[in-house]
Amino acid sequence: MTENSIQNTPAQRPGGNYFGAVLAVAWKDLAAELRSRELLSAMLIFALLVILIFNFSLQLDRTTRESVTAGVLWVTFAFAGTLGLNRSMAIEKDRGCLDGLLLAPVDRSAIYFGKAISNLAFMLIVEAIVLPVYFVLYNPRNFFNPGFLGVILLGSIGYVAVGTLLSTMAVQARTRDVLLPILLFPLVIPVLVSAVQASMGFLSGQPFEEILPWLNLLLVYDVIFIAAAFMAFDYVVEE
């Protein structure tokens, strides 16, 4: 909110205030995590364990493995993502940060975007580590092509957009940890289906026109749900 005696610094101009608030919220989480690394290590170890379990539970020859790579990776990211979303919100609530943030004279949605960005960052960092590890272990073809990486990004964005909002609700329930996956998974099915199919497409070198419907669906989902979550957030945190 601008007052008369405002100085013309970016963080204090009207538009700058919002954006500044978003970055401040996001940076708060990232900086805290850079110091403690508790969230990232938990997510990472979990993700690597899931990959390991897949290796033993799905005894696959090379060709079959090619076809399940996308699915295995996305299941891993979905579960690790849930872990991150849960912990991120729980830390917020337990330290009373959420209430403090809500008192700040800034649009509520800025808090949502800030949290979503930090959650996305955590998920991307985990993915950035898991992918090379998977590559070293299994040597899949076409792995680091831009299309595949783009799908990972788009899918993570959709997942985190809905997940951040739902985790804000779930953290306030008694059944907090178990509730988030139950709430989240039915809603992100379009993301998982599209992301896996598009990933498979890029990894197996399918022509772009065949992958396009999936990318479109991902984009539509991301746009719709970022908008929906952004509008709903006000209702979730109102007192």
Burial of 227 (0-12, 13-18, 19+ CB in 10 A): exposed
* 112 near other proteins, judged by CB under 8 A: no
Token pair listed for 139? 């040597």
* 186 near other proteins, judged by CB under 8 A: yes
Q: Which three-class secondary structure string do you get for 99-141?
A: HHHHHCCCCHHHHHHHHHHHHHHHHHHHHHHHHHHHHHHHCCC
Total of residues contacting other proteins (CB under 8 A): 36
* 62 near other proteins, judged by CB under 8 A: no
Token pair listed for 227? 């908008």
* 124 near other proteins, judged by CB under 8 A: no
Contact (Cβ atoms closer than 8 angstroms) between residue 124 and residue 77: no
- Window 131-170: contact mask with other proteins (x via CB under 8 A): -------------------------------x--xx--xx
Q: 47 vs 70, which CB is nearer to other proteins?
A: 70
* 187 near other proteins, judged by CB under 8 A: yes
* 190 near other proteins, judged by CB under 8 A: yes
**C-alpha separations of 224 from 13, 161, 190, 198, 228 in Å:** 29, 10, 12, 19, 6
Q: 19 vs 79, which CB is nearer to other proteins?
A: 79
* 202 near other proteins, judged by CB under 8 A: no
* 31 near other proteins, judged by CB under 8 A: no
Contact (Cβ atoms closer than 8 angstroms) between residue 159 and residue 153: no
Quote the least distance from Cβ 188 to other proteins, whole Å.
8
Span from 23-31, 105-113, 125-133, 178-186 in contact with other proteins (CB under 8 A) = 178-186
Angle at which helices 62-94 and 38-57 cross, to 10°: 150
